[in-house]
Amino acid sequence: MFSVLFDNWGTLISGLGYTVWCSILALIGSCVIGTVFALMEISAHKVVRIIGRVYVEVVRNIPLLVITMFFYVVIPKYVVAIDGFTAGTIGLTIYTSAFIAETVRAGIESVPVGQMEGARSNGLTYLQAMTHIIFPQAIKIIIPPLGNQFINLIKNSSVLAFVSGFDLMYQGKLVASANLQTFDTYLAVGLLYLVITMPLSYFMRYLEKRWQTA
Amino acid sequence: MSMIEFKHVEKYYPNKFHALKDINLTIDKGEVVTIIGPSGSGKSTLLRTINGLESISQGQLLVNNMDLADKHTDINRLRKDVGMVFQHFNLYANKSVMDNITLGPRLVLKTSREEAEAEAHELLKTVGLADKADSYPSMLSGGQKQRIAIARSLAMHPKAILFDEPTSALDPETIGDVLAVMQQIATQGMTMVVVTHEMGFARHVGDRIVFMADGQILEDSRDVNGFFDNPQEPRAKEFISKIINH
């Protein structure tokens, strides 16, 4: 296994780089989009609420691969030329955003309604109440499930392999088909995924502890 | 001069429940009005419409010369002038007592931190909790929380304060402190609307009493003692006899 790792170091590390880059972009993108749809889902306006609900239900109930293929095949054909990495990253972002929306919504809804009423009666705007009162309380509840979503996101980034996204899985596939050492190669690939996911996992636990005491 | 004016106000909840029926009520500046009645009679709903926590379905509601039925009314501006004290306090769980009191003035009135904190210290003295500035709500008793909530609402320099059963969730021995603070505010000329089951407060501090049942105002009297001694409506008679004779 180690010989596979050393013989193909450059290739696998470049794959790791694409995986990390895709994960960072998708993580930021899905958090922003997910939060927007979470706020839409709890909006006072019925139409906005329905739009949020439909987005979440549709997106999270379609396989990631299908969403990714849509961006890989349909968008270049009818809209604009994008490469596999871009299509895969967009697909992963959209897919994950639906799960993050649900996580954030549940976190916000776990804060007693009296907190919002107290803040609004105190003269705060909806946005001020959200940023100063509701979100700081919701984040404690959101962090653990959000950690799960982040780890899933990194692992799901292997979908890039199906759309020629040059990620770790893609490079692993190339290496394995060249050296025919399938077992050792995928073992090395798995190890490299752990190198990203394990520290993240510990970091989320650290955040969880820090926010509980804060 | 009227502070709050209900004209033929009707309120239906989304489940079609008719919560307020033809409410007509004018509350003058400086008046202390207590609203009593059996539970489910619409007292809290009525109170919550005054600062827009509940919308009204029909009629007109003017608060501080602002029309609450008008969608263009700036509800944040209205709430700046109308404080509210809740049954369950609704203090900010993630903020210290000091921040609970100063957040509104700093964010909404744009008061400087120093000024807001100096005033908060004065208010904490007024409510008898000068040593609690750095505590968090979870460390306080119910009566202390409610006095902080009153201080938070006073810090906004409101023209009126609404009290929604402010002592109903309190241990009996802490009720007195909260009522004493409310009485003090009343004597300083604040317009107050108080939904309460504290008949002593209604009788001795209130200028006026409103009795509600089934979403209607059945009695509205400035002769508070007269009301308690000799209620006119049968529903009011029944209610008074039940709470006095037990």
Render B120-186 in DSSP notation, one character per residue: HHHHHHHTT-GGGTT--GGGS-HHHHHHHHHHHHHTT--SEEEEESTTTTS-HHHHHHHHHHHHHHH
* Cβ contacts of A129 on chain B, cutoff 8 Å: none
Q: Answer yes or no: is pLDDT of B244 > 80.
A: no
Asked if B84 lies within 8 A of A121 by C-beta distance, the reply is: yes
**The pLDDT value given to residue A1:** 65
Q: Read off the pLDDT of each residue in A193-200 and give the average, rounded to a whole number.
A: 94
Q: How far is B241 from chain A (nearest CA, A)?
A: 34
Asked if B92 lies within 8 A of A133 by C-beta distance, the reply is: yes
Average pLDDT, chain B: 94
Number of domains in chain A: 1
B59-104 pLDDT tens trace: 999 999 999 998 889 999 999 999 999 999 999 999 999 999 999 9
* Residue of B76, B107, B111, B165 to mutate, testing the A interface (most A Cβ within 10 Å of its Cβ): B107
Q: How far apart are CA B5 and CA B14, in angstroms?
A: 24
Identity at B80, one-letter amino acid code: K
A148-189 pLDDT tens trace: 999 999 999 999 999 989 999 999 999 999 999 999 999 999
Contact B32, B205 (CB under 8 A): yes
**The pLDDT value given to residue B131:** 95
**The pLDDT value given to residue A72:** 94
Q: Read off the pLDDT of each residue in B180-201 and give the average, rounded to a whole number.
A: 94
Q: Answer yes or no: is pLDDT of A96 > 90.
A: yes
* Cβ contacts of B169 on chain A, cutoff 8 Å: none
Q: How far apart are CA A193 and CA A200, in angstroms?
A: 11
Q: Answer yes or no: is pLDDT of B109 > 70.
A: yes
* Cβ contacts of B153 on chain A, cutoff 8 Å: 121-122
* Residue of B64, B66, B76, B90 to mutate, testing the A interface (most A Cβ within 10 Å of its Cβ): B90
Q: Answer yes or no: is pLDDT of B54 > 90.
A: yes
Q: Read off the pLDDT of each residue in A124-147 and give the average, rounded to a whole number.
A: 94
Contact B8, B68 (CB under 8 A): no
User: pLDDT-based confidence at A18, cuts 50/70/90?
Assistant: very high
* Cβ contacts of B107 on chain A, cutoff 8 Å: 123-124, 128, 132
Range of the domain at A169: 2-213
What is the reported pTM? 0.86
Q: Answer yes or no: is pLDDT of B246 > 60.
A: no
Which residues neighbour B245 within 8 Å (Cβ) at sequence distance 6 or greater? none
Asked if A123 lies within 8 A of B84 by C-beta distance, the reply is: no
Q: Answer yes or no: is pLDDT of A214 > 70.
A: no
Asked if B95 lies within 8 A of A133 by C-beta distance, the reply is: yes
Any idea what the CATH number is for the domain that residue A108 is in?
A: 1.10.3720.10
Residue B187 CB neighbour total at 10 angstroms: 10
* Cβ contacts of B53 on chain A, cutoff 8 Å: 117, 120-121
Q: Answer yes or no: is pLDDT of B151 > 70.
A: yes
**The pLDDT value given to residue A163:** 92
Asked if A123 lies within 8 A of B156 by C-beta distance, the reply is: yes
Topology of domain B2-244, CATH: Rossmann fold (3.40.50)
A36-90 pLDDT tens trace: 999 999 998 999 999 999 999 999 999 999 999 999 999 888 988 899 999 999 9
* Cβ contacts of B150 on chain A, cutoff 8 Å: none
**The pLDDT value given to residue B245:** 63
User: pLDDT-based confidence at A3, cuts 50/70/90?
Assistant: confident
| Closest CB from A117, A123, A137 relative to B76 | A123
* Sign of the CA dihedral with A46 first, then A51, A54, and A59 last: negative
Produce one character per residue of A77-91: b if its CB has 16 or more CB atoms within 10 Å, e if not: eeeeebebbbbbbbb
